[in-house]
Amino acid sequence: MVLNMFMDIPQETYALINRSFLSDKMKRSYKRVIEERKERFIRME
């Protein structure tokens, strides 16, 4: 399914977030948003 290929995106995105200049608090916030959206996709399948 098309959504399956998007399930790998979070790992790549986390690496970018970790290398960013964001504060630790903002990094956690971004990661939380990614997880929430991924969970929504999973429920839609």
10 CB-near residues (< 8 Å, 6+ apart): 34, 35, 38
Distance from C-alpha of 35 to C-alpha of 22, rounded to nearest angstrom: 18
| Residues 45 and 1 sit within 8 Å (Cβ to Cβ) | yes
What pLDDT, on a 0 to 100 scale, did the predictor assign at position 29? 96
Domain coordinates of the chain in residue numbers? 2-44
CA quadruple 44, 35, 9, 26: dihedral sign: positive
The per-residue pLDDT for 32 is 93
Sequential pLDDT tens for the chain (45 residues): 566 666 777 778 899 999 999 999 999 999 999 888 888 877 766
pLDDT (0 to 100) of residue 2? 62
Res 43: pLDDT: 76
Are residues 40 and 10 in contact, defined by beta-carbon separation less than 8 angstroms? no
